[in-house]
Structure 1
Amino acid sequence: MTVEAPPAPGRSGLSRGITLTFAVAGALTVANIYFPQPLLDAIASGLGVSDSAAGLVAMAAQVGYAIGISLVVPLADAARLRRLVTVLLVLTTAGLLAAAAAPNLATLTVATVALSTTTVIPQILMPTAASMAGPEHSGRAVGTIGIGLTLGSTLSRTLSGTVVELSDDWRTAYLVAAVLTGGLVLFLPRLLPERRRGSGEGVPYRKLIGSMPGLLVAHAELRLSAYLGATVSAAFAAFWATLAFHLAGPSFGKGVAWAGLFGLFSLPAALLSYSAGRLSDERGPYFGNMLALGCAGVAFLLLGTAGDTSMAALVIGANLLVYGGNCTQIANQVRIFRLDERIRARLNTLFMLVSFVGGAVGTMIGTALYQAYGWTGMVLGCSGFLFLAAGGLVRGRRLG
């Protein structure tokens, strides 16, 4: 067996070309979760079901992704990465093809759950890239891949809608996604190490899953990152969940398309968030979290004072939130990836799951506050989430 030499001190073991390739792969695979969202009306018409029934497809994608993060991503701590990624890409491609050929909504929903469960490549690439880059450059690697995920989730909605408009068939979008995902099989596995450095060969799957609650108890850094991820995700999700209602309200009177455009309006902040990885490398995750909370705080101050009537305030606020959200995720992942290399995939699983729950809670609370108290109530609720995050960050300052 050939043993890979560690990178020289102060140098990254991950080239810029491979990092960018990982970012593209992350963008293409995470897009499989989000590209069906603009297609729901076309799916409803094509399959002869109601709009609410077609909404099951979007929910199935989120459920499948949560299952994949919980049950598939931990395998990266023990499995052969090249084989694991190849299998996942093949299964995801097969799921997309099954969805494209689905004769009814039940089949489409089942196929969506299946393909979303296996399209968790980004959450495998994150800890792998951090290990390949080394501790001094892990933030840059995580930041670059994070930009890929943001672009993939944002642009996939626009591109899938364009494909369907040109082809006049929602199934074409699934076929295009299958081609793009399947194409990754040709080169992505070759760029990965056979195993991640420090991973445990032959660890039973049941032991991998069973060990995760203990990891949350054992690592204060993980608890801090998960807490910050959940609270900031709650504020972030509350804003995006209520934005469409706010835009359609009497202050603006805009259609649904405007909510989608805000994803494009916030692309400058998504691209600038690469700096968060460099800052986390140079000044530590604590600084990244402070910067994130500062940006989010200014965003909600602006949204609360001018966002009720000013479109410019909404756009600026959205950019500050996207930058802050990306900053906090990168800083949190850098913090946990500095822990034991042998458990990085499971650490990432726990972090993502807690953040996912935080986002779901924020969506529910933000929507309820908006319905009861309007835009100002939602903004105050989000500020409360940020206050909780700030309190946790102050208490955990010693953890970096």
Structure 2
Amino acid sequence: MTSAVPSAAPPAEPSAAPSRSGLKRPAALAFAGASALTVANIYFPQPLLDAVASGLDVSGSAASLIATAAQVGYALGIALVVPLADAARLRRLATTLLLLTTAGLLVAAAAPNLATLTVATLALSTTTVLPQILVPTAASLAGPGHSGRAVGAIGIGITLGSTLSRTLSGAVAGLSGDWRTAYLVAAALTGGLVFVLPRLLPASRGGRSVPYRELIGSLPRLVRAHPGLRFSALLGATVFAAFSAFWATLAFHLAGPPFGLGVAWAGLFGLFGLPAALLSYTAGRLSDRRGPRYVNTVALVCVSAAFLVLGVGGDSLTALVIGTNLLVYGTSSSQVANQVRVFRLDEQVRARLNTLFMLASFTGGAVGSLTGAALYARWGWTGMVLGCGGFLLPAAVALARGRHLG
């Protein structure tokens, strides 16, 4: 492995000439499935927030801290754990993360108060970063000319996990009458991966051993060296902020007038967004063919259209379903395009590049969750939608100015 210090100029992009992918389909499917199950731990609590508020006797805005803690914890894990994938033994790293996440879920299931649940959520979200280790690993195994498809395959797993987890947790809580059951189910699924996933990973990245301090210390230099990374980070943060604001407030919107719907309905919106989640698989292949910027543009149009529909038809279930599909497709496609761009910069430091991109995205997500909840509490659904439009404006300006960044 080369030194963690990047050169002053980014390396040239790999040739687009076709080559045979080194990532076999069974492994790609396993990576996608594992990504779905682990990323679900970030999102499945969102439809439960109203039930958590009632069960722990706290306000809805206080319960929203769970969604924010999940985003902050994930960002911390991306910053502190994912860089290890450039140097650590991948199998040992995956096993450790899965065991720690399972333990965190069990503590959350038994939490007697909001403070304990928030701390447990922060901790388990810090260790459930395996999808962001699998994405650069898959891109490296796939080889030049196939990285977009590899990222797209893992991306569909992440999208399905983030969307269907809401449906599953809402259904489990609705059937059992207890939000804690959803945490127990998540613990069982995450723990089961310990027996499957590690053996599918390469033992390590190979090359020289890099001290942890050097891995972390190289991150600021990578930001300075790669304009394409900064471009992707801005797009990822703004779009994901809007996405997170929507999901952090949907349960409260559905519980209030004119709907009066329970937690299971909030979870069903993950299922309603399934068509868009499946369609987003094309984003990786399209990024290989037309370039990431083209996919980013299409994605931003879809997300903007989503909030237009959600704002105009916020009191209609049909409009909410249409808006959800536009939002899921646009956000997922945007993330795939951004990661394809980032992984073209330097193959030797892909995990750290992904760390920086995802750190920006999930920092945006945490800000979006917190801001969306505050706007909804003060100005209702319309205020939340307008706030999301404010998140998207910088992304539109960046896309208009960043034509040279691909």
* TM bucket, shorter chain: 0.7 to 0.9
Give the aligned partner of residue 76 of structure 2. Answer: 67
Query: Which residue of the other structure, out of 328, 344, 353, is the alignment partner of 2:350?
Result: 344
Give the aligned partner of residue 314 of structure 1. Answer: 320
Query: Which residue of the other structure, out of 129, 152, 156, is the alignment partner of 2:165?
Result: 156
The one-character-per-residue Cα deviations of 1:94-137 (angstroms, maximum 9, x if unpaired) are 33344445566665554443322211111100111111112312
User: Aligned residues, how many?
Assistant: 388
Structure 1 residues 234 and 57: CA distance shift in structure 2, 3 A: closer
The one-character-per-residue Cα deviations of 1:58-91 (angstroms, maximum 9, x if unpaired) are 5543333222111111111111111111221222
Give the aligned partner of residue 20 of structure 2. Answer: 11
Contact 1:295/1:323, CA 8 A, preserved across alignment: yes
Q: Which stretch shifts more, 143-152 or 121-130?
A: 143-152
5+ unaligned residues in a row in structure 2: which ranges?
1-16
Contact 2:148/2:288, CA 8 A, preserved across alignment: yes
State yes or no: 1:288 paired with 2:295: yes
What TM-score, normalized by structure 2, do the two folds share? Answer: 0.84
Q: How many angstroms does 1:49 deviate by?
A: 5.5
* Partner AA of 1:96 in structure 2: L
Query: Which residue of the other structure, out of 29, 32, 38, is the alignment partner of 1:29?
Result: 38
Structure 1 residues 50 and 389: CA distance shift in structure 2, 3 A: closer
Q: How many angstroms does 1:152 deviate by?
A: 1.7
Contact 1:200/1:342, CA 8 A, preserved across alignment: no
Structure 1 residues 36 and 378: CA distance shift in structure 2, 3 A: closer
Q: How many angstroms does 1:294 deviate by?
A: 2.1
State yes or no: 1:211 paired with 2:214: no
Structure 1 residues 16 and 383: CA distance shift in structure 2, 3 A: same
Query: Which residue of the other structure, out of 393, 399, 405, is the alignment partner of 1:399?
Result: 405
Q: Distance in 2 between matches of 1:294 and 1:392?
A: 14
CA RMSD of aligned residues (A): 3.0
Contact 1:79/1:201, CA 8 A, preserved across alignment: no
Give the aligned partner of residue 382 of structure 1. Answer: 388
5+ unaligned residues in a row in structure 1: which ranges?
1-7
Q: Distance in 2 between matches of 1:347 and 1:203?
A: 16
* Partner AA of 1:131 in structure 2: S
Structure 1 residues 393 and 38: CA distance shift in structure 2, 3 A: closer
Q: Distance in 1 between matches of 2:110 and 2:385?
A: 43
* Partner AA of 2:29 in structure 1: L
Q: Distance in 2 between matches of 1:79 and 1:244?
A: 40
Query: Which residue of the other structure, out of 228, 247, 251, is the alignment partner of 1:221?
Result: 228
State yes or no: 1:80 paired with 2:86: no
Structure 1 residues 276 and 380: CA distance shift in structure 2, 3 A: same
The one-character-per-residue Cα deviations of 1:2-61 (angstroms, maximum 9, x if unpaired) are xxxxxx952211112211111110111112223344556766777x66466766655543
Contact 1:280/1:331, CA 8 A, preserved across alignment: yes
Q: How many angstroms does 1:353 deviate by?
A: 1.5
Give the aligned partner of residue 268 of structure 2. Answer: 261
Q: Which stretch shifts more, 257-266 or 223-232?
A: 257-266
Query: Which residue of the other structure, out of 360, 370, 374, is the alignment partner of 2:366?
Result: 360
Give the aligned partner of residue 140 of structure 1. Answer: 149
Q: Could you say what secondary structure the match of 1:176 adopts?
A: helix
Contact 2:50/2:252, CA 8 A, preserved across alignment: no
Q: Distance in 2 between matches of 1:322 and 1:247?
A: 18
The one-character-per-residue Cα deviations of 1:178-237 (angstroms, maximum 9, x if unpaired) are 3322221222111111223xx653111111111111111110010000011112223323
Q: How many angstroms does 1:316 deviate by?
A: 1.5
Give the aligned partner of residue 4 of structure 1. Answer: none
Q: Which stretch shifts more, 170-179 or 183-192?
A: 170-179
Structure 1 residues 321 and 99: CA distance shift in structure 2, 3 A: closer
Contact 1:229/1:354, CA 8 A, preserved across alignment: yes
Higher RCO structure, 1 or 2 (CA under 8 Å, sep 6+) = 2
State yes or no: 1:278 paired with 2:285: yes
Contact 1:40/1:51, CA 8 A, preserved across alignment: no
Q: Distance in 2 between matches of 1:253 and 1:45?
A: 18
Give the aligned partner of residue 332 of structure 1. Answer: 338
* Partner AA of 2:221 in structure 1: G
What TM-score, normalized by structure 1, do the two folds share? Answer: 0.85
